[in-house]
Amino acid sequence: MKKQGFVFSLEASLSLIFLVGILLVQIPAQEKDLHELAVFQKENDLLKIWAKQRNFSLEEMKKDFEFAFPDVSGEISVNMQRISAGNPRSKKSVKAIASETVFFGADLESTIISVSVFE
């Protein structure tokens, strides 16, 4: 007990650990925006326009996709026939925003069309 030096009590040690713990905690930045809704709306716009034009050529649809989403990559499918579209050198995607719809033609034949944007 007569030795000189720092002696931390249990309380002081716990306080120190608590302080270090607080300093290490990183509060994740919360981004509140409607970016995903905006992308979803654009996808739905494309689907509506394709429905109005009644032209389900994948090449034409690919051109429309690249016009609508110039900087991203994505995928279009018509009756399970898939095609990649967009900029393949866009940043690495971690999620996809997708929309799908079913069109019925004059003879009630169905066409399933989906469009996905990779982000």
With contact defined as beta carbons under 8 Å apart, do 62 and 70 qualify?
no
Q: 58-68 and 35-53 helices cross at what angle (nearest 10)?
A: 150
Which lies closer to other proteins via its Cβ, residue 8 or residue 91?
8
User: Judged by CB under 8 A, which of 1, 26, 33, 80 binds other proteins?
Assistant: 33
User: Judged by CB under 8 A, which of 32, 89, 92, 95 binds other proteins?
Assistant: 32
Nearest to 64 by CA among 113, 102, 97, 110: 113
User: Judged by CB under 8 A, which of 1, 24, 29, 102 binds other proteins?
Assistant: 29
Q: How far apart are CA 114 and CA 82, in angstroms?
A: 9
Report the interface residues with other proteins, using CB under 8 A: 6-9, 11-12, 15-16, 18-19, 22-23, 27, 29-35, 37-38, 41-42, 45-46, 48-49, 52-53, 64, 67-68
